[in-house]
Structure 1
Amino acid sequence: MSAMKIKKGDNVQVIAGKDKGKEGKVIAVDTKNHRVLVEGVSMVTKHTKPSAANQQGGIVNKEAYIAISNVMLLHKGKITRVGFKMDGDKKVRYAKATGEVID
């Protein structure tokens, strides 16, 4: 399996689906199912029962996972594809639009 090109903490833009054009920070990455959780994107309504942690219960709005193919990395305010290259003896991600190393 190849390395994931989007990581937790990256800023991404949605390029397909109902939230197309929205930007947000990646909260979580599900590598097994190739899905990401993005802050403020793909909001769903969840009905919760009262519990010890949540005494009140009720209706909660939260983010839902979206396919990783529907997001692109934002690098310096511009969306870009991500590639990998060797920097000395270390493998690093780089922005294909500019050729700059991301991390």
Structure 2
Amino acid sequence: MPARIKTDDQVVVISGKDRGKRGRVLRVDPKHERVYVEGLNKIKRHQKANPMSPTANQVSGVIEKEAGIHVSNVALADPKDGKPTRVGIEFVDGKRVRVARRSGTRID
């Protein structure tokens, strides 16, 4: 199935504890059908600093980060009015283009 939601898209959460909130997609995990949205579905993880890791700037303590939200629980925000919309695919000049079903505007 083609990716309907991509990184840097504005999405609206349509169900769950963060329902009604909106944010920018940080990353997409197509294998597990999850999206990670900036500032939403925050979880706390205890982390120990590891000086041998490639990223030596790792801090220790309780880290708060975004957890994945199932892709069925988010909807793309319509570029025109910001309300949730479904995503359609159209072919323009032989290229696939994502289109907001609500208003018919292209999503870039």
Asked if Structure 1 and Structure 2 have the same fold, meaning a TM-score greater than 0.5 normalized by the shorter chain, the answer is yes
CA offset at residue 91 of structure 1?
A: 1.0
Residues 84-99 of structure 1 aligned to structure 2 (within 5 Å): 84-99=89-104
Q: 2:30 maps to what in 1?
A: 31
The question of whether the paired residues in 1 share the 8 Å contact of 2:14 and 2:74 is answered with: yes
Q: What is the RMSD computed on CA atoms of the aligned residues?
A: 1.3
Uncovered stretches (5+) of structure 1, i.e. residues with no partner: none
1:66 maps to 2:57: no
Partner SS for 1:9: coil
Q: 2:41 maps to what in 1?
A: 42
Uncovered stretches (5+) of structure 2, i.e. residues with no partner: none
2:95, 2:59 → 1: CA distance? Answer: 50
Partner SS for 1:62: strand
Instruction: Give the count of matched residue pairs.
Output: 102
Deviates more, 1:71-80 or 1:37-46: 71-80
Where do 4+ consecutive residues of structure 1 move more than 4 Å?
Answer: none
TM-score (norm 2): 0.88
One-letter identity of the residue aligned with 2:102? A
TM-score (norm 1): 0.92
CA offset at residue 33 of structure 1?
A: 1.1
CA offset at residue 50 of structure 1?
A: 2.2
Question: Percent same amino acid at aligned positions?
Answer: 47
